[in-house]
Structure 1
């Protein structure tokens, strides 16, 4: 299968979308499929086993981390992409990538699918404060529904997110397809090495949080929660590994709460062992976001044997099982702190949860969940071809006959079957 992915974000831009694309891309290649990704240029390339086409892009004034691909450069790619005979387009983000992906799919006459990675209804008011939040939520619902209904199929990382989209009124066929984790990569970390690097004593109680520091991630909750932990365990340390638009606000809140000795901001950590060491150094991983469509960092932490304390809402509710590698906390700072203190004070409980965390994480392996994505692609191709075969007058009959002939020809030649839509357009070129 030949898959053309397109996204407004990718590494070195760090977030869950980038991780999901990389994970699925690498697994698809390992299983013998072809993947090409179109994404903005950040001036830095990342080594991947699949082709990455970096498009010239301009910076966004209100969001310096992101880039906007330039449309004219995307149009210039069509001839070269046509020659690669892709089977479908997979859109990963709703901005330039959505509209460019739709245009490319039409130009190449192939189906288009989209992943809904981000719960925008809960995000926009954090970045556009001058507009009433009710208006923004309404606009986000309408915008999301329109885009979801503009593709042939939709992949959603959790049932909770799919339930939300169903309430929006989406009509597009949709399936839950979570992102898996690379168990080989997150199988070993060296916590002592991380503690030595950052001057943290081996016996200091350590809570860890990893993620993009965005306003919607509810990280300020963790700082207020830490006040309760500090009251009973003054030497506790919270490591916050990440960066983002909320960093300065979190640093100011740290000072206001007099937590300068209890909080360490490390910035982004490279996935070259540094991030894995950070996870492994923690006595517990803490997570308070209430708007995640999945929450990959939870699984990464558990794969490395670090127990989790988290609020279980939206997508995280489907990832977490209480006492199976984690303790679920309420959206209450004091109760969350009590769960953290319980883990910090009970070594036997930590060991028990660490073992169950590793076992549970194995059920989320990337190769297994990549098979789900492949099935999703195959089902979409079959459904679109079936729709094209349905009687539509002379065109419907012709398309159906063409499909049968192409299938027979492919079987005789021993070639991989080509998508019907691409075959039809080849007769029109």
Structure 2
């Protein structure tokens, strides 16, 4: 396999910004292990430089105290020319739809190389719980997409909206999918972590696109930490666990109400993570066997919590694009209780229980997974899923996309 020189560009702080940072870190590690040359172009703030590859620190527009997803890399023409003249790349791979996307388009155009973009977040899923998300939609339509079209200089046609049956989240959500299709039309190829995202983007596209489904595998550091942990619980109860931000779009209030309604004897619910919903959720949890672990920065601590739980619970609905914690739960041998029928990565009818998104249905799910024998059977089924979630699978699929785009570019 020929060495591929990759410019990997991201607006988010590296690697401490959640799922996108973890995905980029996994790809950096795996691509480097395969012998490819990865150059990270990332914000110069809050940076933890990896020991692998090369890192180019880039200024970012960012106000202290704001969420990390509001960081925007400097993406002017002068900076693009400087980066393009400094290092020769074979492919540009962008991971966020802000300054990184536009900077990547400019570098790809200057060097005459393909531009691959990865859609990580399902922003269309935020509107039902976060009404302010409509401003993100307007930003895409009014600024990001026009700026990308100018940077890429490609012909464009207006995308279609998905039908109300294909996307039930309202007009803003439908506009988001059309926006994704408009972005995908301005790059040489795109990746998504789940099949439903590719289906919706391609539905909106006026012309055929080059899309790839590339799920993010379990990070090797997390995988190793899980394997090192030992289960030390001796109680006979059932521990349900939720791992992630305590954010409104995660619908953790629904999870709490369902847990209360289920009334499972000797059961507890543990939240690993922090966020702006913590105070509200703690007030709702009064009188319940619920524990809030708070922010857990250590991978080994998170692995310990997973290994000592009995089932993972997700209450998000039409929000997550993949839910990386599912792959980590599979690595820990945990059954999964979830309610989003569009999620498929790391899930099977034998290892997971799909319920409706309402409180009553999720409460029934809690009661069902209180059955120890059922959980043990589901846990055994996770072993068959893990090989498909290994990080090298992510790298192999990414390299295949690179190779196809490079060959297509060479053929003109």
Name the TM-score class by shorter chain. 0.7 to 0.9
Q: Distance in 2 between matches of 1:17 and 1:226?
A: 30
Deviation of residue 159 (structure 1)? 1.3
Change (3 A) 1:247 1:85: same
User: The residue matched to 2:369 in structure 1 has which SS?
Assistant: helix
Q: Is the 8 A contact 2:252 2:281 kept in 1?
A: no
Residues 217, 356 of structure 1: alpha-carbon distance in 2 compared, 3 angstrom cutoff:
same
Cα offset, 1:265, TM superposition:
2.2
Tell me if 1:151 matches 2:151: no
1:361 aligns with 2:391: no
Deviations 1:325-358 (A, max 9, x none): 2222222323322222332332x32222222213
Contact 1:6–1:90, Cα closer than 8 Å, also in 2: yes
TM-score after normalising by structure 1:
0.78
- 2-side partners of 1:129 and 1:378: how far apart? 36
Aligned with residue 164 of structure 1, among 184, 200, 209: 200
The SS at the match of 2:103 is helix
Could you tell me which runs of 5 or more consecutive residues in structure 2 were left unpaired when the two chains were aligned: 138-168
- Cα distance, 1:27–1:215 mapped onto 2, change above 3 Å: same
User: Does the CA-based 8 Å contact 2:44-2:59 persist in structure 1?
Assistant: yes
Please give the residue correspondences for 1:32-71 in structure 2 after superposition, counting only pairs within 5 Å: 32-60=35-63, 63-71=66-74
Match of 1:330 among 356, 368, 377: 356
When normalised by structure 2's length, the TM-score is: 0.81
1:247 pairs with 2:247:
no
2:30·2:395 contact (CA, 8 Å) conserved in 1?
yes
Aligned partners of 2:71 and 2:24: how far apart in 1? 18
* Alignment of structure 1 residues 4-403 onto 2, 5 Å: 4-60=7-63, 63-71=66-74, 75-76=78-79, 78-124=81-127, 126=130, 128=132, 134=170, 136-169=172-205, 171=207, 172-182=209-219, 184-185=223-224, 187-188=226-227, 190=229, 192=231, 202-229=235-262, 231-233=263-265, 235-244=266-275, 246-248=276-278, 251-255=279-283, 257-259=284-286, 261-290=288-317, 291-314=319-342, 316-323=343-350, 325-346=351-372, 348-387=373-412
SS at match of 1:320: coil
Deviation at 1:378, TM superposition (A): 0.3
Give the conservation status (yes or no) of the 8 Å contact 1:4–1:86. Answer: yes
| 8 Å Cα contact 1:55-1:73 kept in structure 2 | no
Relative to structure 1, the CA distance from residue 102 to residue 321 in structure 2 (aligned partners, 3 Å threshold; closer, same or farther) is: same
> Aligned partners of 1:226, 1:122: CA distance in 2, in Å?
24
CA shift digits 1:388-421 (9 cap, x unpaired) = xxxxxxxxxxxxxxxxxxxxxxxxxxxxxxxxxx
- Following superposition, the deviation at residue 26 of structure 1 comes to 0.7
Distance in 2 (alpha carbons) for counterparts of 1:176 and 1:72: 28
CA distance in structure 1 between the aligned counterparts of 2:22 and 2:274, rounded to whole angstroms: 16
Please give the alpha-carbon distance, in whole angstroms, between the structure 2 residues aligned to 1:158 and 1:238. 28
In 1, the alpha carbon distance for the partners of 2:174 and 2:340 equals 25
Q: CA deviation at 1:237?
A: 2.0
Asked if the contact 1:191–1:282 (Cα under 8 Å) also holds between the matched residues in 2, the reply is no
**Measured at CA, do residues 295 and 232 of structure 1 come closer, stay the same or move farther in structure 2, by a change above 3 Å?**
closer
Gap change, CA 1:153 and 1:264, over 3 Å in 2:
same
Q: Deviation at 1:372?
A: 1.2
Q: 1:153 to 1:162 in 2, by over 3 A?
A: same
Question: Helix, strand or coil: the match of 2:28?
Answer: helix
Task: Give, in whole Å, the separation in 2 of the partners of 1:62 and 1:293.
Answer: 26
More helix by share: 1
d(CA) in 1 for partners of 2:235 and 2:14?
A: 33
Name the SS for the 1:128 alignment partner: helix
Instruction: Give me the whole-angstrom Cα distance separating, in 2, the residues matched to 1:190 and 1:336.
Output: 30
CA RMSD of aligned residues (A): 2.8
Residue ranges of structure 1 left out of the alignment (5+ in a row)? 196-200, 388-429
SS of residue paired to 1:293: coil
CA distance in 2, matches of 1:157, 1:34: 23
In structure 2, what is the Cα distance between the partners aligned to 1:260 and 1:105? Answer: 57
CA distance in structure 2 between the aligned counterparts of 1:338 and 1:286, rounded to whole angstroms? 13
